[in-house]
């Protein structure tokens, strides 16, 4: 006798739409920013949501769906890039942090285009951290999970080394200050 699970499937799909698919806009923006190519971003996002749907049973309610999606997207991007290039690991970027010019004081009245330009001048790894922290408002712990770097690492170790660890506005402030100078 056939087992009809249509109602269950529709419930799951409704939950997926309400919990996960609602973040399509944000995920696409991040994908497009990081890839710099609309066609590539569309492929990455399509694959990300397809994988998210397949593994939705592993998503834990109560956790941050956006962080979960960003982690999937990072894997998708990583797999697609593996064939021809790899982004440098964050550990290689840490030395660059101190070479980014910083303003003594945070510049005021920076326009949106100026700020996006400044963001674009940062090393790619930093751009991702800044966006996850300042735009997506993920916690340091969530960022560490998305980027698959151990908590306590210099870029996301808020608790142990707050002065050097700030992953958010510090680099962007440096870049913005550099541009404003």
Partner 1 sequence: MKCAELRAMAESYLAGELPVDTSHEIITHLDRCEECRTELDARIALRQTLRRAFLSSETLAPTGEFTERVRASLGTEAAAGRRWFGHVTPWIAIAASVAFVLTVSWQVLRSTHQPEASSALAALAAHAAGDHRHCALDHSLEELPISLDEAARRYNPAYATLREVVSQSGPVRGGTIEILGAHWCVFDGRSFAHVVVRHRGRVASILLTPIGQTPAALTSAAQCPSSEGFRVACFDARGHAGFVVSDLTDSENLDLARVVAPVLQSYFARG
Other residues' Cβ atoms within 10 Å of the Cβ of residue 94: 15
**Is 54 near partner 1 (CB under 8 A)?**
yes
- Closer to partner 1 by CB, 31 or 84: give it: 31
Tokens of 153: 């690492």
Residue 3, Cβ density class (10 Å: 0-12 exposed, 13-18 middle, ≥19 buried): exposed
**Choices 49-57, 76-84, 94-102, 145-153; region in contact with partner 1 by CB under 8 A:** 49-57
Among 85, 95, 99, 105, binds partner 1 (CB under 8 A): 105
DSSP helix/strand/coil, 17: helix
- Residues 122, 103, 26, 15, CA torsion sign: positive
Contact 41, 80 (CB under 8 A): no
Shortest distance, CB of residue 150 to partner 1, whole angstroms? 16
Among 131, 144, 146, 149, binds partner 1 (CB under 8 A): 131
**Is 83 near partner 1 (CB under 8 A)?**
no
Tokens of 152: 């306590």
Per DSSP, helices labelled H in 20-123 are 24-35, 38-54, 65-82, 90-97, 112-121
**Is 178 near partner 1 (CB under 8 A)?**
no
Compute CA 54 distance to the chain's CA centroid, rounded to the nearest angstrom: 21
**Choices 72-80, 90-98, 109-117, 146-154; region in contact with partner 1 by CB under 8 A:** 109-117
Among 24, 71, 87, 151, binds partner 1 (CB under 8 A): 24
**Is 6 near partner 1 (CB under 8 A)?**
yes
Residues 145-174 close enough to bind partner 1 by CB under 8 A = 158-159, 162-163, 165-170, 172-173
**Is 13 near partner 1 (CB under 8 A)?**
yes
């Amino acid at each position: 006798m056939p087992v009809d699970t249509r109602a269950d499937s529709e419930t799951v799909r409704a939950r997926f739409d309400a919990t996960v698919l609602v973040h399509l806009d944000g995920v696409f923006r991040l994908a497009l920013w990081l890839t710099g190519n609309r066609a590539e971003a569309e492929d990455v996002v399509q694959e990300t949501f397809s994988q998210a749907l397949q593994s939705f049973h592993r998503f834990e309610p109560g956790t941050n769906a956006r962080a979960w999606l960003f982690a999937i997207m990072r894997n998708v991007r990583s797999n697609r890039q593996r064939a021809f290039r790899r982004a440098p690991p964050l550990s290689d970027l840490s030395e660059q942090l101190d070479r980014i010019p910083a303003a003594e004081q945070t510049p005021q009245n920076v326009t949106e285009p100026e700020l996006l330009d400044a963001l674009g001048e940062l090393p790619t790894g930093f751009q991702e951290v800044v966006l996850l922290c300042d735009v997506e408002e993920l916690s340091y712990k969530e960022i560490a999970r998305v980027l698959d770097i151990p908590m306590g690492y210099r870029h996301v170790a808020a608790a142990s080394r707050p002065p050097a660890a700030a992953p958010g506005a510090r680099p962007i402030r440096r870049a913005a200050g550099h541009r404003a100078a």
